Amino acid sequence: MNPIEQELVSLDEAKRRIKTIRTLEDYPPLGDTILGEKKSNVGIVFQHGFIGTNIENLYIANFLANAGYRILLPLLPGHGQNSDELRKYSWRDWLDKHGQAISYLQNEKSGRKIVLIGHSMGGTVSLINSARMQDIAAVVTLGSPVRFPLSLRIFINLLGRTGLRFNYHDFHFADLSLLENPLVKYIQNNYGRMYFKSTRDVLKICQLAYNSLLGIRCPILVVASKNDKTVPIYNASLILNGVSSTKKEYLELEQTGHVMVADLEKDTIAQAILAFLEKVSLLP
């Protein structure tokens, strides 16, 4: 892993950049990116979700980096490209890449504490590695699934064994201006015809996370939204009631859609994460 070092900017500048983006070329590269102080005592792996990229997490990542944390945003295999490329990889590749990111931050500075943050499936992956690696200091999930309805699971597991595709248009925002965002259009154009095989891999990740919950003992913050039309909000309760952590926090949002890291309440999420880290004494 050789992440690209990103420029650290103020929050006002980060907001300005979001509003003034006109083309995809205005974004940082679609790849592993890192920002913040190398000398920070706390490193954060901030993982994007299914068909997402490192880019949509950059606003909250920049907020945390300005607070003194070192942030690594890995791009999972097959993401930032198209559905044909995504099909070449499996849930194992996604877990492996996330593990590499954790190792990178650990090796960059001896004795550094590691926090895992993930949006959607990125949070699901974070739960799995929080259970597998007992030295993880804390985990934060943002609209993350561990269980979809049984009928949907049966349907996808059956069709996931075929080469069939379906129309994937799962983009819901409270901030409707995001529908005109070039990154959203890029993802819609390149992942609009999705293979059932790839969604079956998501279900495998969810099952692994669900089975791993009891093994999670580190502090945990779970964020969910009532307006999330992709991941049922009951997943937040499944996570909170399933983990063995003694320190648990929950934030329920009212407005934001599934891509909460870029939607209306992203500042609320950023502040909540920072307050949580301070509360559990994970200072940079």
Give the residues across from 4 on adjacent strands: 33
Q: What is the pLDDT of residue 64?
A: 96
Q: Pick out the chain residues at pLDDT < 70.
A: 8-11, 14-30, 170-172, 176, 179
271 within domain boundaries: yes
Query: What are the angstrom distances between the C-alpha of 125 and each of 38, 91, 170?
Result: 25, 9, 20
Total count of residues recorded for the chain: 284
Give the residues across from 73 on adjacent strands: 33
Q: Are strands 220-225 and 33-35 parallel, antiparallel or unpaired?
A: unpaired
Number of domains present in the structure of the chain: 1
CATH number of the domain enclosing 249: 3.40.50.1820
199 within domain boundaries: yes
Cα 132 to its chain centre, rounded Å, is: 18
Q: What is the pLDDT of residue 54?
A: 85
Distance CA 215, CA 209 (A): 10
Reading phi first (left if > 0) and then psi (alpha if -120 to 50, else beta), residue 130 is in: alpha
Q: What is the pLDDT of residue 281?
A: 96
- Sign of the CA dihedral 120, 122, 125, 126? negative
Distance CA 68, CA 159 (A): 46
Q: What is the pLDDT of residue 22?
A: 52
Contact of 48 with 57, CB cutoff 8 Å: yes
Give the strand order in the sheet containing 113-119.
4-5, 33-35, 70-73, 42-47, 113-119, 136-142, 220-225, 248-253
Distance CA 205, CA 95 (A): 9
Q: What is the pLDDT of residue 187?
A: 80
154 within domain boundaries: yes
**Domain ranges, residue 196:** 4-279
284 within domain boundaries: no
Q: Which uninterrupted H or E stretch holds 141?
A: strand 136-142
